[in-house]
Structure 1
Amino acid sequence: MEKIALTQSAQKPSLFVPVAGLSLFALASGYLMSLIPLSLTFFELSNSLAPLLASIFYLGLLLGAPCIAPIVSRIGHSKAFILFLNILLCSVVAMILIPKSGVWLASRLVAGFAVAGIFVVVESWLLMADTQKQRAKRLGLYMTALYGGTAVGQLAIDYLGTKGNLPYLVVMGLLAAASLPALLVKRGQPQVSEQQSMSLSALKNLSQPAIMGCLVSGLLLGPIYGLLPIYVALDMGLDQQTGQFMALIIVGGMLVQPLVSYLSPIFNKSGLIVSFSLLGVAALLLLSQHSSMTLIIGFLLLGASAFALYPIAISLACDNLPASQMVSVAQVMLLSYSVGSVIGPLVASSFGQTEFGLLIYLGICCILSSIYIFAQLLINTKPSFSSP
């Protein structure tokens, strides 16, 4: 695993460029994630392609995560951000020009690689802070921008639809606009000083609950992005409200970020992961009901639960580590998240023939992760007795 030692430039690294670019990227990504499974029939592609498209995207994320550090080291954060946005843009162009299943699968693989680059670049840029409290605040800002943009992007499903080329042209325009802050603002960018390798022993010392938190986040969010829109539209019979309910999930994730930023420096982070996992179980029970109010609350709580896990986990992994290791940690956490995101849609699709199948799968993930991390907490806090 590679790591980059980062030094501050004469000026403080600007937060405007990564946050503004990330917000526009999130608008495009939020729309695109739900647009792809819902537009399959328009392009005469089978709905059975949806879980494969979701998994291969996260496979690209998984393959891309270890490759980002050398690229950032060579060309810097700003140019790397522009490069990955343009790769993602080209993958969308290929999809509308050649609507064939093989091309779509290849495009989503490339898109996953590009999104891995965007995440690692922005996370490492924002996590270049001197204290845990500053890192928690910046991570909260990162997650709020990401989820806020994604929530608004989900609403485009209801206003712009999912048929024709226009929705994809809107996505392309947003991705192009996301490059503008990095192109126009040249001052206050991080500078790369050297590249080193992270030892295997250092990797083994990373928090197991942190790695598990990122893994479970992927196991939840992969199916939520890739399969839940179809589940809401077809199994729940809410075709006209799919965009609104998907947006509620993202809004729940966005609203919980200030709470996560506040709680992370105060409480045991492993305990927080367990708490939010159990909150997810409660949310899924609400979603098995048919009342409109219960569904609204359930979707909000599901978003709060699923989207809280990653920032808490990465904050836990970064505890007591210097800024020079932020890229390395971001890569390892993204790898864990990606593994879960690749496996999640494939396993979740096997529950498809069961009533509430997707909800049952998500509940199993939350419960098993809670048991594992709670067991780790008990092991790590077990008192040791010695003779006086």
Structure 2
Amino acid sequence: MVELTAGHKPNNPLAPVIGLSFFAIASGFLMSLIPLSLNAFGLDNELASWLASVFYLGLLIGAFFIERIVTKIGHRHAFMVFLSLLIVSVTAQLIFPKAHVWLLARFVAGIAVAGVFVVVESWLLMTDTAKARAKRLGLYMTSLYGGSAVGQLAIDPLGTSGALPYLFVIALLFVAMLAPLLIKSGQPQSHQSQKLQLTELKQLSRPAILGCLVSGLVLGPIYGLMPVYIAEQSAQAAFTGTLMATVILGGMLVQPLVSYLSTRMAKSLLMALFCLFGALGVVGIMQAVHFNVLIASYFILGAASFALYPIAITLACDALPIEKIVSATEIMLLSYSFGSVFGPLLAANLFDSANGIMVYLGGCLFTTCIYMLIKSLKSISTDNTPVAG
């Protein structure tokens, strides 16, 4: 077997981006497959919101200790460990189709996915300039959401019943492991990582933390409940895979724009604008009469929802030295995970109507828009205050 290398430069993004792309296809398909395959395995549809929430609970718990694992064994080995853990969880779901096993498996999967996110994000963000960070994070998000969108398209040809869809996911995760297994150079030096102190935590940008939180509050229901919502709409049910792919495709295609704008305008204002567009997308979905308008509205909702996290995390890392990046990404993931745990439960139970999830998403995005707009205006006012003396 020929050993591949990522070149002689430190922190080469080749291995994480290749591995992430296959992981994203598998993960994107799995996120929609799980709620849609419940009946086929004799499980209740009401389990869907709990499976989504317990997954994000695993994401939340995992965010507390991942940094220590990455620091101890390095980014490359940590990437392979977390992918292996995810494979074990999916295999358990396939072999033991019981509610309690699935809940435990999704909790473990959440920990594994948290590990993948922290490893890849910190691997790519550990560079010296804000411009390079924005460009690399754009590459990360494009790979993540592009793979997720492709994964949605597997719903129609593979179906949502039987072992085949889950075997497809497992095979893709094995392929994802090949990149860090074969590309042995290019990971960041583990000794660079330092934990953020309590005083430094207080100085982290509040809009950044809230942006990650709201991203979780919105994306949790989109991943966990949106496939069920679409399948229950008589005019949309036949296009479940296509519409979910459209949501995530919007998230993928907006990433170059996010990278371009995030270094040219205030990030809190940028998040306010995306939240406003997302709220308009929700209105479009609820009011659409023509299918083209529906497609466009789902695309806009996806673009806005998936834009929040990369903007927020780059805002958090802008003023940090490179050795603090792993710790910062862990904290941002913690904020995202906290939102993701409660998002599906709130979306499922807060509004008792056919469009409850849409009302919830619109409310989250619009209120966040107002907050970010206020913060950006305060920032502009502070910057323009003349200095006495």
TMscore range, shorter length: over 0.9
Opposite residue 82 of structure 1, the aligned amino acid is M
**Residue 335 (str. 1) matches residue 334 (str. 2):** yes
Aligned counterparts of 1:108 and 1:180: Cα–Cα separation in 2 = 24
Map 1:110-121; keep pairs closer than 5 Å.
Answer: 110-121=108-119
Structure 2: gaps (5+ residues): 1-6
SS of 1:135's equivalent in the other structure is helix
Aligned counterparts of 2:302 and 2:326: Cα–Cα separation in 1 = 27
The structural deviation recorded for 1:352 is: 5.5
Deviations 1:121-141 (A, max 9, x none): 000001111110000000000
- The residue that corresponds to 2:347 in the other structure is 348
SS of 1:179's equivalent in the other structure is helix
Aligned pair in 2 of structure 1 residues 386, 18: CA closer, same or farther (>3 Å)? closer
- The residue that corresponds to 2:231 in the other structure is 233
Aligned pair in 2 of structure 1 residues 131, 236: CA closer, same or farther (>3 Å)? farther
Aligned pair in 2 of structure 1 residues 346, 322: CA closer, same or farther (>3 Å)? same
Aligned counterparts of 1:271 and 1:262: Cα–Cα separation in 2 = 14
Q: Is the 8 A contact 2:196 2:328 kept in 1?
A: no
- The residue that corresponds to 1:71 in the other structure is 69
Aligned counterparts of 2:371 and 2:246: Cα–Cα separation in 1 = 29
Opposite residue 324 of structure 1, the aligned amino acid is E
Deviations 1:345-381 (A, max 9, x none): 0000014531321110000001111122222233334
Map 1:368-387; keep pairs closer than 5 Å.
Answer: 368-383=367-382, 384=385
SS of 1:193's equivalent in the other structure is helix
Aligned counterparts of 2:387 and 2:204: Cα–Cα separation in 1 = 28
Aligned counterparts of 1:369 and 1:211: Cα–Cα separation in 2 = 12
Map 1:1-388; keep pairs closer than 5 Å.
Answer: 11-193=9-191, 196-288=194-286, 289-351=288-350, 353-383=352-382, 384=385
Opposite residue 368 of structure 1, the aligned amino acid is T
Aligned residue-pair number: 380
The structural deviation recorded for 1:386 is: 8.0
- The residue that corresponds to 2:4 in the other structure is none
The structural deviation recorded for 1:110 is: 0.4
Q: Is the 8 A contact 1:158 1:240 kept in 2?
A: no
Aligned counterparts of 1:167 and 1:220: Cα–Cα separation in 2 = 26
The structural deviation recorded for 1:19 is: 0.3
The structural deviation recorded for 1:195 is: 5.3
Aligned counterparts of 2:194 and 2:320: Cα–Cα separation in 1 = 15
Deviations 1:206-257 (A, max 9, x none): 1111111111111110000000000000135422210000000111011100
Q: Is the 8 A contact 2:33 2:160 kept in 1?
A: yes
Aligned counterparts of 2:234 and 2:53: Cα–Cα separation in 1 = 23
The structural deviation recorded for 1:198 is: 1.8
Q: What RMSD, in angstroms, separates the aligned Cα atoms of the two structures?
A: 1.5
Q: Is the 8 A contact 1:143 1:257 kept in 2?
A: yes
Q: TM-score, normalised by structure 2?
A: 0.95
- The residue that corresponds to 1:5 in the other structure is none
Aligned counterparts of 2:34 and 2:315: Cα–Cα separation in 1 = 33
Aligned counterparts of 2:258 and 2:237: Cα–Cα separation in 1 = 32
